[in-house]
Chain A
């Protein structure tokens, strides 16, 4: 068998699930942020894999030949991945800023204890 896409997607899915699990269960707010990063990176993996195996240049079905009527980007997935990394970085910065502000008010970063919006 030729090179398959499936293992890459599986790794991405596994990472995503680990990330979800962490977002939902970790007590530490920074831990939650780290798991969010994990999820984003898992999504990145998916994007790269799709571009490599299903994209116009590396398409396994057409033996890597670009169709003649295609005028779009050849490395769209990769470019999207870089943008996601950028956005993740910005979002992590903002998230940390929020955590610092919350810590200044609540003196704790245990998400279980930050429940002032409760009924």
Chain B
């Protein structure tokens, strides 16, 4: 079962040819896709249960492109991979089942499942790969399928623009990854994780740091970190199951997975602080891990603030995803890759739950704008119940999944020492506050609150194919966090234990002599031995990662009180603020509808008042958020800190201008040169024909003939017919011979 584990990635890919070769009738592609992913899911479960206690990893590698050195292709099964396999296959299966109901009626149902299957295969490839090159290949494939799925409704121009934006922005990151791959080849001569990690002690810290920075560039693109975060909210143009699978749970997680997998590179590269800036004047010192956590915390805060001001239910969740990914990156950057990946796992489950739930809400209420919803808790009970679970998990309500993983990250922030270390904790707490705030706001606007403001919406519960996955996902959203309870810290032990390759591993490389000691994890690793972690220039996160952990008392389950009390308090505070502010804002007011409408100058059947709702409305007839009193601040947040506009002005406009300039050059200069060269050839040919060929060449040829004739005509006069004339010639010749024999015609010495 382990030997053929690469089929876990290939089986969902079969959905592509099967569903595209023949267009089956409606639910059948759904069944086919779901069945294929279910096979992958069951296989992943089987692998998980059989390798649960194992302390060795399993790996198969075969040569692919021969050379010196060769390029290999292979897969590995270790605990990190197994965890990712479970996450990806579970969420993918839920999305497949859910889409049977959600995409019902779509004319291209089969195409959807084809792409969904391809995506699942690519993501599983990313997770199963055992070398960076294969990872990169599957990474690009994941980006491609994301483009295909965002732009699924290709007739919609906004969807195609969003798909293009996603692809182009992530391309920036992928460029960095490509350069990293080249550097990796130059430095190590291989792409193998194992070989590279083992070669780290002899590698150059600067090159490894550069590789880490560049790999992180790819992660920044894929995981929508600032400054490449702009594509994720636009990606909500795709169908909601796509948002759930790709842009919440799996693809964006690929960046975090890469950073976690390549963590030894980051750690080793952080032994040296890189100076950026002008030498001698303004320089700033940064290490790879430092950049990871700095971008993580920036994204965390930035996106949380933007999420507060969004009115589209999916956009709130999209920015929330960005923000939570920032948490994960921050966790890794603080030295605790376990915390980051733990949060990845919990987030995948509850974010997928929330997205699918939002899809159910959209399906049932017919709108995506939260300002038109309200009171859906009674109309869609099953959706509401599961959404509640996801909501509580996301805000970090005690004992739900998000609580444990967020606490792990904040714990890592707490351990950091150095200048500005308090900022990470402070912003992490601020992010938790904002998360609780905007999610509570969403809950009030969508589920609680008195009733929907648009009376033409007749909300209904979704079919079983849609709420059943929600119920299924609610279970891990509730319970999975307990594996991270610090007292026993199951997840940490699970992820850090497998250090060796098992005896069944088949590695067909010709450079591996033994299968000992994959160095990774929190033990004192080989590549850091002999180097003082306290030396100047070494990233403080490394010290934090290898230092003592402060575990708290037993009654708290091992949680550190200095971290969990502020963290929980801040989340509950956010909940409270949101509760108070939006409870009254979404309540029906007692003002008569008609009076209110008249005051605004609206007609009686305007949806703003509709007869039974009379909340404060703005000039467009939409419900006005109480936070709009903040005026320009609100506008700033609602417009996403104007980053899209900045990028447009700074990057897109110059590029388009340059393109226009080159187009002009091409049309008027290059084309004319090419045409000119053509004309030159034509003129030369004409000249050659008219002048040269006619006069010169023909002249020579004809002239030779003429010469022969004329010469013949004159020379024949020698034939007089008279014998005596011939005798004269003979005599003269004999005379010449006689003179020559006397030596008159000899050449001078």
The residues of A with any CB-CB pair to B shorter than 8 Å are 20, 23-25, 32, 111-112, 114-119
B156 CB within 8 Å of chain A: no
**Interchain CB contact (< 8 A) of A32 among B717, B720, B724:** B724
Give Cα A23–Cα B728 distance, bound, in whole angstroms.
Answer: 9
Contact status of A112 and B722, CB under 8 A, knowing A20-B731, A24-B728, A24-B731: yes
B719 CB within 8 Å of chain A: yes
- Output the nearest chain B residue to A115 by Cβ-Cβ distance: B721
Tell me if A111 and B721 are in contact (CB < 8 A).
no
Give Cα A20–Cα B292 distance, bound, in whole angstroms.
Answer: 121
11 A-B pairs in the complex with CB atoms less than 8 angstroms apart: A23-B724, A24-B731, A111-B722, A111-B724, A114-B722, A114-B723, A115-B720, A118-B719, A119-B717, A119-B718, A119-B719
In the bound complex, residues from chain B placing their C-beta under 8 Å from that of A119 are 716-721
In the bound complex, residues from chain A placing their C-beta under 8 Å from that of B717 are 119
Tell me if A111 and B723 are in contact (CB < 8 A).
yes
B727 CB within 8 Å of chain A: yes
- Output the nearest chain A residue to B723 by Cβ-Cβ distance: A111
Give Cα A92–Cα B324 distance, bound, in whole angstroms.
Answer: 135
Top 3 A-B residue pairs of the complex, sorted by shortest distance between their CB atoms: A118-B721, A115-B721, A119-B716
- Output the nearest chain A residue to B726 by Cβ-Cβ distance: A117
Most B Cβ at <10 Å: residue of A114, A116, A117, A119:
A119
Q: How far is the CB of B723 from chain A (nearest CB, A)?
A: 6
In the bound complex, residues from chain A placing their C-beta under 8 Å from that of B723 are 111, 114
In the bound complex, residues from chain A placing their C-beta under 8 Å from that of B716 are 119
In the bound complex, residues from chain B placing their C-beta under 8 Å from that of A117 are 719, 721
- Can you add 5 more A-B contacts, CB < 8 Å, to A111-B724, A116-B721, A118-B722? A114-B723, A115-B721, A118-B719, A119-B720, A119-B721
**Interchain CB contact (< 8 A) of B720 among A23, A24, A25, A118:** A118
Give Cα A102–Cα B728 distance, bound, in whole angstroms.
Answer: 21
Contact status of A24 and B722, CB under 8 A, knowing A119-B716, A119-B717: no
Main secondary structure of the interface of B (DSSP, over half): helix
Q: How far is the CB of B733 from chain A (nearest CB, A)?
A: 13
In the bound complex, residues from chain A placing their C-beta under 8 Å from that of B721 are 114-119
B396-422 CB contact bits vs A (8 Å, 1 = yes)?
000000000000000000000000000
Give Cα A12–Cα B717 distance, bound, in whole angstroms.
Answer: 36
Most A Cβ at <10 Å: residue of B718, B727, B731:
B727
B716-749 CB contact bits vs A (8 Å, 1 = yes)?
1111111110011001000000000000000000
- Output the nearest chain A residue to B713 by Cβ-Cβ distance: A119
Give Cα A23–Cα B724 distance, bound, in whole angstroms.
Answer: 7
- Output the nearest chain B residue to A20 by Cβ-Cβ distance: B731
Give Cα A33–Cα B702 distance, bound, in whole angstroms.
Answer: 49
Q: How far is the CB of A30 from chain B (nearest CB, A)?
A: 14
In the bound complex, residues from chain A placing their C-beta under 8 Å from that of B720 are 115, 118-119
Give Cα A49–Cα B719 distance, bound, in whole angstroms.
Answer: 39
Tell me if B719 and A24 are in contact (CB < 8 A).
no
Most A Cβ at <10 Å: residue of B716, B717, B724:
B724
In the bound complex, residues from chain B placing their C-beta under 8 Å from that of A111 are 722-724
Give Cα A113–Cα B716 distance, bound, in whole angstroms.
Answer: 19
In the bound complex, residues from chain A placing their C-beta under 8 Å from that of B727 are 23-24
- Output the nearest chain A residue to B716 by Cβ-Cβ distance: A119
Q: How far is the CB of A24 from chain B (nearest CB, A)?
A: 6
- Output the nearest chain B residue to A117 by Cβ-Cβ distance: B721
In the bound complex, residues from chain B placing their C-beta under 8 Å from that of A23 are 724, 727
Q: How far is the CB of A70 from chain B (nearest CB, A)?
A: 27
Give Cα A116–Cα B721 distance, bound, in whole angstroms.
Answer: 6
Chain B residues numbered 294-337 whose CB sits less than 8 Å from any CB in chain A? none
- Output the nearest chain B residue to A113 by Cβ-Cβ distance: B722
In the bound complex, residues from chain A placing their C-beta under 8 Å from that of B724 are 23-25, 32, 111-112
Give Cα A30–Cα B67 distance, bound, in whole angstroms.
Answer: 102
B695-727 CB contact bits vs A (8 Å, 1 = yes)?
000000000000000000000111111111001
In the bound complex, residues from chain A placing their C-beta under 8 Å from that of B731 are 20, 24
Give Cα A68–Cα B724 distance, bound, in whole angstroms.
Answer: 49
- Output the nearest chain A residue to B717 by Cβ-Cβ distance: A119
Give Cα A115–Cα B721 distance, bound, in whole angstroms.
Answer: 4
In the bound complex, residues from chain B placing their C-beta under 8 Å from that of A116 are 721
